Amino acid sequence: MRYRMFGRTGLKVSALGFGCWPMAGDRYGAIEDDEAVKAIHRALDRGVSCVDTAPAYGAGHSEEVVARALDNRRREVVLVTKCGVKPPPTDWVDVLLVHWPDVGTPFEETMRGLEDVVTSGRARFVGVSNFTGAMIAECMRTRRVDVSQVGYHMFDRRQEQETFPSCLTNGIGVMGYGSLGHGLLTGAFTAATTFGDPSRDWRGNGVAFGQPIFRGDNFKTNVGVIERLRREVAEPRGVPLSQIALAWVLGHPAISTALVGARTPAEVDANDAGAELDLTESERAKIDAILVGAAGRVREFTPLRPAMEPWGEEIPAGRQG
């Protein structure tokens, strides 16, 4: 496992972080808690040192599973969670994030509240999740943003213009979530794949954080794009597509850690080697050329709108984003 500086916090984090949204048990299908605990333990044994959760994941269930898994290993990890009604089931966290921007609360008030949490000792560092570049700049007028968490993967490159430049300039640690395209980049789907009831698997709604990449013909087109990535990039390199996808995310200098969800130890093992892989310039150029054919992408990043509704006009497949 490789490690990177977490912005200017002074902390180091593993290049791959453990994302715990799938452990909620209510958004990616059912999951066995014992298997989830084993998955976290396997990740720690393989060198993962960053674990990300939130009270919104399964109405607190994910945090409970994480607390159980870290019972005797808490000091091995950089633990990240989000603000909630109830305090997390641990005495302190390393990083506390505001999960989504709230139009009804001034950012000055938000940042002063986060500073109070740091002063109290309940969190070492604080930051934001799903904030635009302008929002982060406004927050910084009151208190430093230590960490930003945003979606970033081959099918969603909006942050390359939206927040990454300012994060690099200001030394803000960046956690990229959805590194495997919310499952698309595992290569496990076919054009016939369905996700069923959106209340059990949110991808059934067709929209991922403002982008309808899972919807109808867009999904079928994207499965074709994935097949090209597998055939033209992963196979010649002799590695699974998931490792190419993770190496691609980690190739951006703004990224401190790429979050990957896993529900079993086997899933942890499948992703681990992606942190050790470096893509060549020609491989990245080929990936860029293939991704022009992706469908359902949008340019807009408007997190004050519902996450599972389109945020803008779709970029036609075959046109540069």
**How far from 50 is each of 12, 17, 70, 240, 256, CA to CA, in Å?**
9, 5, 12, 23, 10
Residue 56 confidence (pLDDT): 65
Q: Is the pTM of this model over 0.75?
A: yes
Residue 60 confidence (pLDDT): 61
Residue 173 confidence (pLDDT): 98
Residue 30 confidence (pLDDT): 60
**Nearest in space to 283 (alpha carbons), one of 319, 316, 241:** 241
Is 18 inside any structural domain? Answer: yes
Residue 152 confidence (pLDDT): 98
Residue 218 confidence (pLDDT): 96
Is 312 inside any structural domain? Answer: no
**Nearest in space to 260 (alpha carbons), one of 15, 16, 96, 50:** 16
Domain of 68, CATH number, reads: 3.20.20.100
Contact call for residues 175 and 144 (beta carbons, < 8 A): no
Residue with tokens 């969670």: 81
Is 88 inside any structural domain? Answer: yes
Residue 155 structural domain? 3-183+242-278
Is 95 inside any structural domain? Answer: yes
Average pLDDT per block of 10 residues along the chain, 321 residues long: 96 94 59 84 94 74 81 91 76 93 94 96 97 98 98 98 98 97 93 88 93 96 97 96 96 97 85 85 97 97 95 89 64
Compute the distance between CA of residue 109 and CA of residue 104 in angstroms, rounded to an integer. 11
Residue 197 confidence (pLDDT): 87
Count structural domains, the chain. Answer: 1
Compute the distance between CA of residue 15 and CA of residue 29 in angstroms, rounded to an integer. 27
